[in-house]
Amino acid sequence: MKACNFCGNINFEKKFVQYIYKHNGQFLVVNNVPCEECKFCGEQYFKAEILKKIEKDFKEIYLYGKKTEKQVKVPVEEFVKL
């Protein structure tokens, strides 16, 4: 049986969540990604094959120009200027 790396709890809940992949200052937002969430501390665990899929998609978008379903503009601020 597996336990949460952070709190040691062994109860997890299957969920579909939004995953934000970051690499070299570039982002990919993927909706409805399956994960298991720790019922105690809320830490989310993703299967390696799922993360690999997202990484592959990220490359297809940024290296090979794959078109995505949606694009969002994200405002960026420096905290010291707020």
- Is residue 7 involved in binding Zn ion (CB under 5 A)? yes
CA–CA gap between residue 65 and residue 47 (Å, rounded): 26
Q: Which of 17, 20, 41, 51 lies at the binding interface for Zn ion (CB under 5 A)?
A: 41
- Minimum Å gap between C-beta 30 and Zn ion is 23
Site for Zn ion in 46-75 (CB under 5 A): none
Residues lying near Zn ion in the complex (CB under 5 A) = 4, 6-7, 9, 38, 40-41, 43
